[in-house]
């Protein structure tokens, strides 16, 4: 029974060392200087790299602006708006009062001023 189980396996052919060396020799090990010069001449010899660097710096500045100024300000504004809404709903549920905003424009303006006050 053990001889039958061993005979059911298929053995892969072992490649000869000469064949594997010829395959490896045909692959380039590193880019040649002529291919590097060709790729750098296609890219504009550094003008695009300066443009790419400036583009990355401007994206980084926009990211900083968003994370340091815009997101906290917007979060604070909508957080206060949500808190006022929740407090009005709680007061209406707990006590028989009706919360009426007389001027929607003034209410939004006060929220903007309060959100910007501590920035």
Per-residue pLDDT tens digits for 8-34: 666 666 666 655 555 555 555 555 555
CA angle in degrees (0–180, nearest 5) for 30-36-40: 155
Average pLDDT in the chain: 75
State pTM to two decimals. 0.44
Percent of the chain with pLDDT over 90: 18
Per-residue confidence band for 5, with pLDDT thresholds at 50, 70 and 90: low
Two structure tokens written together for 5: 């189980």
Using CA atoms, how far residue 45 sits from 11, 39, 53, 85, in Å, is 54, 9, 14, 59
Phi then psi for residue 9, to 5 deg, are -80, 145
Task: Specify the higher pLDDT residue, 67 or 30.
Answer: 67
Using CA atoms, how far residue 14 sits from 6, 9, 11, 25, in Å, is 18, 15, 9, 19
CA angle in degrees (0–180, nearest 5) for 98-102-105: 135
């Amino acid at each position: 029974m053990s001889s039958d189980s061993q005979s059911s396996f298929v053995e892969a052919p072992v490649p000869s060392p000469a064949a594997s060396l010829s395959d490896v020799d045909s692959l380039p090990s590193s880019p040649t200087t002529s291919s590097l010069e060709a790729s750098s001449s296609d890219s504009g010899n550094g003008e695009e790299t300066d443009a790419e660097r400036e583009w990355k710096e401007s994206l980084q500045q926009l990211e900083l602006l968003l994370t340091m100024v815009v997101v906290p300000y917007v979060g604070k504004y909508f957080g206060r708006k949500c808190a006022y809404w929740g407090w009005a709903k709680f007061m209406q549920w707990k006590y028989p009062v009706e919360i009426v905003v007389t001027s929607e424009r003034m209410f939004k303006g006060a929220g903007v001023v309060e959100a910007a006050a501590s920035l």
